[in-house]
Structure 1
């Protein structure tokens, strides 16, 4: 397939990458867990029920993703979040293979309904017996995710996961009918389909800091969290454009949404999408520097509450920097038609390959 290189504006990331010092021992331990859940098979003896071969699993470098996004986490917390990251990717790849590529919406609905049974926060609810790697993984994680210091997350975290798996069915329905979401609706939907509502939990897990409860419902704090989550999911769309649109035939991608909603060609939708991600990051930075300090003064936060809030926001900055670094170099997002990092790189003069078959309004690219 002939590819056209599109010159991109700089993808901005103002925060430095920091790496958790416990990274070296992370991959082997979590590979053992993923194998026990049935997600990983041996390269020499593949299992039709496994989601990845061992080489595929290692190539995703999920250990780097976890250590880059949570640089301050203690070993046990880092390991727990690593397993959750593995599970989220396992769900994504399983769903794509079993349902998106086949268009099996009934199977997707049945699969999703069963997963809901593992996410009930009520005490005493008995989940079904797991029958596949995704179910075994979430059943195991439910026994670990909510230690006493994080018990307040049980309902909110599982609600976020429920929205995450439900979004998969909605994405499949959009792709089957060719319905491209409108830009106005897409950003809040992407927070759900990226499981971005679980990210504040991960930051709290890493830093040990909690957002003061009395400001959680404030407009400023909600705006900060929305910008934080938008940067994550929308930047992922740029990184995974080729994989989602051309391998999975998915219409739920920011580049496609921009092209359709604004009636512009794809070659213009790509830089427009990057400008939007940069804009949301600028919103986050403005609120972090100016809005949150004003909110803290107005709300009368005590010194220790302000310190905890500052620690949490610092963890959120590290989380974004780690995601940016992973999108930049992870083999999961590297183009097969170009050097590592070609799909998504910060810096001036980078290129995103666009297939020659891609057609946008105005005929700037042609079949």
Structure 2
């Protein structure tokens, strides 16, 4: 359906998050080096004159609070794991912001398609593949990450993670197609699409990186675990749509947002759509809880998991909870999600009270 999207003053709900946020103790170390890699990749201006315009100014970079995001989502990760995931987060945000400024804001579909096709080359499925010389900071960052993302303990992720990244960058082109034509995705279509456009399929990798735990093979492909992963991924992207509504719809004129989808598909007012979006996000979180509490235990018994496998599964589940609570803390604290116009939307509480946490700094 084609519509013209306008932004109105609305009340943003405070989403339910029952799992307490925790902070990785290595955050101070991460803060000391947080700008180094971004400068080396050309994402952030350094002391030397850059060969191309950087993606972020220093104030924009600090407002993202990516070090805080990484330390909140992976509270139990080692310093090595935390540093790797931090670079991965930086790259994903660099791609997002570069794509928005270079193609979404200009409507350059041909340029976006060419950029994306070339970036696919850097998603190498095999070690030792010779890559072309990077032409921009996004390509340089991915070329560097391909040498780091698959240590022996995570070698099984090589094809799966690169497939997830391919879906992520391809979704950017589809978002641009939708925005150029004013086509708002259908509600049923959008749930699946949002997992791709949020890079949610990469999140299980991050949980495994942080915890060192894998979902046991005996149950990995079961219906229950599939539903669990779907609910886990849905919360991430759909909650982000609420937090980033003003930024995406007002600043970027984007139609790829759950609130806009509900408003259009169901004929709701903007406030009604925002409330419905919050209800849907809460429902996905409650389903995640239900599967863990009610459906996973009998599956574990039927599958005959031994004690060690049960401990590993529990560690993975706890890591997934930490990932969600860390994202929630970032959405509600990072200056990145404050409206750029300076008019801060009203907020009201819906559901359980969010546990107390350290405020997200505007500068680190």
TM-score of the pair, normalised by structure 1: 0.90
Please say if residues 77 and 205 of structure 1, whose CA atoms lie closer than 8 Å, have aligned partners that are also in contact. yes
User: Which shifted more, 238-247 or 162-171?
Assistant: 238-247
Structure 2 gaps, min length 5: 1-5, 354-364
Structure 1 gaps, min length 5: 351-367
Is 1:284 matched with 2:281? Answer: no
Is 1:215 matched with 2:219? Answer: yes
Please say if residues 100 and 172 of structure 1, whose CA atoms lie closer than 8 Å, have aligned partners that are also in contact. yes
Of 226, 231, 235 in structure 2, the residue corresponding to residue 231 of structure 1 is 235
Residues 22 and 123 of structure 1: is their aligned pair in 2 closer, same or farther, counting only changes over 3 Å?
Answer: closer
Please say if residues 328 and 345 of structure 1, whose CA atoms lie closer than 8 Å, have aligned partners that are also in contact. no
| Counterpart in the other structure of 1:301 | 305
User: Which shifted more, 52-61 or 12-21?
Assistant: 52-61
| Counterpart in the other structure of 2:116 | 112
1:339 is displaced (CA, Å) by 8.0
Q: Deviation string for 1:227-272 (max 9, x for gaps)?
A: 0000000000111111111111110000000011111111210000
Please say if residues 207 and 311 of structure 1, whose CA atoms lie closer than 8 Å, have aligned partners that are also in contact. yes
Work out the CA distance in 2 between the residues paired with 1:310 and 1:241: 34
Please say if residues 62 and 82 of structure 1, whose CA atoms lie closer than 8 Å, have aligned partners that are also in contact. yes
Of 265, 269, 273 in structure 1, the residue corresponding to residue 277 of structure 2 is 273
User: Which shifted more, 152-161 or 211-220?
Assistant: 211-220
| Counterpart in the other structure of 1:317 | 321
Work out the CA distance in 2 between the residues paired with 1:110 and 1:288: 43
Greater relative contact order (Cα < 8 A, sep 6+) = 2
1:68-147 map, 5 Å: 68-147=72-151
| Counterpart in the other structure of 2:360 | none
Residues 5 and 173 of structure 1: is their aligned pair in 2 closer, same or farther, counting only changes over 3 Å?
Answer: closer
1:51 is displaced (CA, Å) by 0.2
1:158 is displaced (CA, Å) by 0.3
Residues 9 and 115 of structure 1: is their aligned pair in 2 closer, same or farther, counting only changes over 3 Å?
Answer: closer
Q: Give the count of matched residue pairs.
A: 348
| Counterpart in the other structure of 2:69 | 65
Secondary structure (helix, strand or coil) at the match of 2:305 reads coil
Work out the CA distance in 2 between the residues paired with 1:44 and 1:58: 20
1:10 is displaced (CA, Å) by 4.7
Please say if residues 7 and 246 of structure 2, whose CA atoms lie closer than 8 Å, have aligned partners that are also in contact. no
Of 8, 20, 23 in structure 1, the residue corresponding to residue 24 of structure 2 is 20
Work out the CA distance in 1 between the residues paired with 2:132 and 2:42: 17
Residues 345 and 116 of structure 1: is their aligned pair in 2 closer, same or farther, counting only changes over 3 Å?
Answer: farther
Is 1:36 matched with 2:40? Answer: yes
Is 1:148 matched with 2:152? Answer: yes
User: Which shifted more, 252-261 or 118-127?
Assistant: 118-127
| Counterpart in the other structure of 1:362 | none
1:46 is displaced (CA, Å) by 8.0
| Counterpart in the other structure of 2:255 | 251
Secondary structure (helix, strand or coil) at the match of 1:209 reads coil
User: Which shifted more, 239-248 or 311-320?
Assistant: 239-248
User: Which shifted more, 97-106 or 290-299?
Assistant: 290-299
Residues 29 and 9 of structure 1: is their aligned pair in 2 closer, same or farther, counting only changes over 3 Å?
Answer: closer
1:89 is displaced (CA, Å) by 0.2
Work out the CA distance in 2 between the residues paired with 1:228 and 1:219: 14
Please say if residues 43 and 53 of structure 1, whose CA atoms lie closer than 8 Å, have aligned partners that are also in contact. no
User: Which shifted more, 116-125 or 64-73?
Assistant: 116-125
